[in-house]
Structure 1
Amino acid sequence: MRRDVFTADHDEFRKLARDFVAKEVVPNYPAWEKAGRLPRSLFERLGALGMLGVAIPEEYGGAGLDDYRYNVVLQEEAARALVTLGTVRTQLDVVLPYFLTYADEEQRRRWFPGLAAGRLLTAVAMTEPGTGSDLAGIRTTAVRDGDAYVVNGAKTFITGGLLADLVIVVARTATDPDDRRAGLTLLVVEDGMPGFTRGRVLDKMGIKVQDTVELAFHDVRVPVANRLGEEGAAFGYLGHNLPQERMTVAVGSVAQARAALDVTADYVRERQVFGRPVASFQNTKFELAAVSTEIEAAQAMLDRAVLELVAGELSGADAARVKLFCTEMQARAVDRCLQLFGGYGYMAEHPISRLYADARITRIYAGTSEVMKVIIAKSLGL
């Protein structure tokens, strides 16, 4: 169906992204999957093309275009080529907004040029071994000591944490028994700070190209100059960025579901069963027709939400609705597509198996489907 989300500038960016993915990512992707991470050189090449600094102000080496649609294009082109950009997406869509919104002038001068050039890699550390979606339950502490905070605690499931030069850590600087959400602060821990260690790289079911690690902090002295925003205000900051984070998951879900449909349609035209192409059976036609319809419905919902996000009008409840619908749709679509591959769909050599494994996390991270339903129910006054 016709989409009215993008302009001519986005279309030109799409050509650049498509060419880059085809030449720089696809040939190297199997090796990166085996390594369990993207190489730093990929970020540097993206930075040289200006693709990491689109939203960063021009005076720091970026393009000064605070337009989420460029991020959407990059995700869609990766999915179209049957790959993901893993920690690139996390850096642009999840972490960078915190720097853009809350970094002061000194921090901007210090960090933004490196972020735009791909020399500085980032991560955000929220989740702890005992707290998942319950951010108010964070126990990592940061105690003020002169011109520094002393940080102690542990984080887990941290995307991009293995190579990150700057890790935004959510830590508790105060405790209010009447308000669990109060007293959380964002601190930027830099690679090499004494007491900051990276634990094991976690072995995941899917998204193998995206490193996910445990982080530990033992008496790490973080300068007050590395605090993002005001002390004790982090819960509100996290809530402000969550709609975009959830939209990012939804964008990937729809794009990857569409990629699954395309690769399956190609396969069933060629695959012969009982002397006939699999595509000739009514069941195949009906299954893919249903998948196509669900994808178009999700795309229409998503595109409307993208425009609202760009306009600064997307509510938290609507972002939850979009994430819930798009990720649940992705699960159904990829599962039905894999079924049409038969036993070959279960083999790692076929991209559909990777799409299937990668899809499972989207109903969990950035807030589970159950958490999305709680948010939506609250918006209904329930």
Structure 2
Amino acid sequence: MFAVDTSLQGVSRHALVTAGHSDCDTGELAFHEVILDNSSLLGVLDEGLFHLLERLPQERLTSSVANLAQARDALELTLQFAKSREAFGSTIGSLQHNAFRLAEVDAQLAAVEALVDRCIDDLDANVMSSADGARAKLLSARVENAILDLGYQLHGGSAFLADAPIHRRWVDGRITRVWAGADEVMLHLIAQDLGLHP
């Protein structure tokens, strides 16, 4: 692993426009015949991948915490809307189908919050496994997206407006099932922990 001075000859970069998280800098770096010396080396030569792998469970847990914060925010936004928006003579949140769907995602969120809390305690005790980090990341991203999808649906056509708060959250939430490892990578790690080798 190397630290590369972006002013070196052969280094090029350009910004990428993303669908979500427009407030974050995302870019592409290209290296064409860039010459580095030993002072650019980070860690031990040929062990960069191992350094990265060592920190991935912590990165996944950090992502899980962010996912849950965004999920809780989206649920609160949706609950406020469901309690104030009227249709068919009552608020949409008082309709049994909608109320039960909101109750279901709230229960799922509480369960994943408990898992993430346990993982934080395990990380503090230096005993968190890679598989538990994967479980937390997988489920936190899934519950966040379930809440966002429900919120988007309950907001109806107004959610499709680009400046609608639920729209921005919904678009930003799409990436959480990919960053810090896609769902399939998390499932692979969990399967390995179960003694399965897909």
Q: TM-score, normalised by structure 1?
A: 0.50
Residue-by-residue CA offset, 1:239-279 (whole Å, 9 max, x unaligned): 10111111122111111111011011111222121332222
Give secondary structure in 1 for the equivalent of 2:23: coil
- Give me the whole-angstrom Cα distance separating, in 2, the residues matched to 1:325 and 1:302: 10
Residue-by-residue CA offset, 1:190-242 (whole Å, 9 max, x unaligned): 2312221103x222221111121111112223231221111011121111011
AA aligned to 1:250 is S
> Is 1:234 matched with 2:54?
no
- Give me the whole-angstrom Cα distance separating, in 1, the residues matched to 2:73 and 2:36: 44
Moved over 3 A (4+): none
Partner of 2:99: 285
Aligned-pair distance for 1:372?
0.9
Match of 1:359 among 173, 179, 185: 173
Query: Unmatched 5+ residue regions in structure 2?
Result: none
Partner of 2:148: 334
Relative contact order, higher structure (CA 8 A, sep 6+): 2
- Give me the whole-angstrom Cα distance separating, in 2, the residues matched to 1:219 and 1:344: 51
Partner of 2:2: 187
Give the aligned CA root-mean-square deviation in angstroms: 1.4
Q: 1:291 touches 1:333 (CA, 8 Å); kept in 2?
A: yes
Partner of 1:316: 130
Match of 2:23 among 196, 209, 212: 209
- Give me the whole-angstrom Cα distance separating, in 2, the residues matched to 1:223 and 1:307: 41
Match of 1:368 among 165, 172, 182: 182
Match of 2:158 among 341, 344, 355: 344
Partner of 1:269: 83
- Give me the whole-angstrom Cα distance separating, in 1, the residues matched to 2:151 and 2:178: 21
- Give me the whole-angstrom Cα distance separating, in 2, the residues matched to 1:272 and 1:194: 62
Larger helix fraction of residues:
2
Q: 1:198 touches 1:216 (CA, 8 Å); kept in 2?
A: yes
Partner of 1:218: 32
Partner of 1:73: none
- Give me the whole-angstrom Cα distance separating, in 1, the residues matched to 2:194 and 2:83: 46
- Give me the whole-angstrom Cα distance separating, in 1, the residues matched to 2:66 and 2:50: 26
- Give me the whole-angstrom Cα distance separating, in 2, the residues matched to 1:269 and 1:372: 36
Give secondary structure in 1 for the equivalent of 2:33: strand
Give secondary structure in 2 for the equivalent of 1:355: helix
AA aligned to 2:2 is L
- Give me the whole-angstrom Cα distance separating, in 1, the residues matched to 2:136 and 2:93: 31
> Is 1:306 matched with 2:120?
yes
- Give me the whole-angstrom Cα distance separating, in 2, the residues matched to 1:289 and 1:213: 40
- Give me the whole-angstrom Cα distance separating, in 2, the residues matched to 1:325 and 1:276: 33
- Give me the whole-angstrom Cα distance separating, in 2, the residues matched to 1:331 and 1:274: 28
Q: 1:188 touches 1:222 (CA, 8 Å); kept in 2?
A: no
- Give me the whole-angstrom Cα distance separating, in 2, the residues matched to 1:329 and 1:269: 21
What is the percentage of aligned positions where both structures have the same residue? 39
Query: Unmatched 5+ residue regions in structure 1?
Result: 1-185
Aligned-pair distance for 1:280?
2.3
Q: Equivalent residues in 2 for 1:93-108 (5 A)?
A: none
Aligned-pair distance for 1:362?
1.1
Match of 1:249 among 63, 74, 82: 63
- Give me the whole-angstrom Cα distance separating, in 2, the residues matched to 1:378 and 1:277: 47
- Give me the whole-angstrom Cα distance separating, in 2, the residues matched to 1:229 and 1:279: 55
Residue-by-residue CA offset, 1:149-203 (whole Å, 9 max, x unaligned): xxxxxxxxxxxxxxxxxxxxxxxxxxxxxxxxxxxxx10012312221103x222
- Give me the whole-angstrom Cα distance separating, in 1, the residues matched to 2:73 and 2:45: 44
Give secondary structure in 2 for the equivalent of 1:214: strand
Aligned-pair distance for 1:317?
1.2
Partner of 2:13: 198
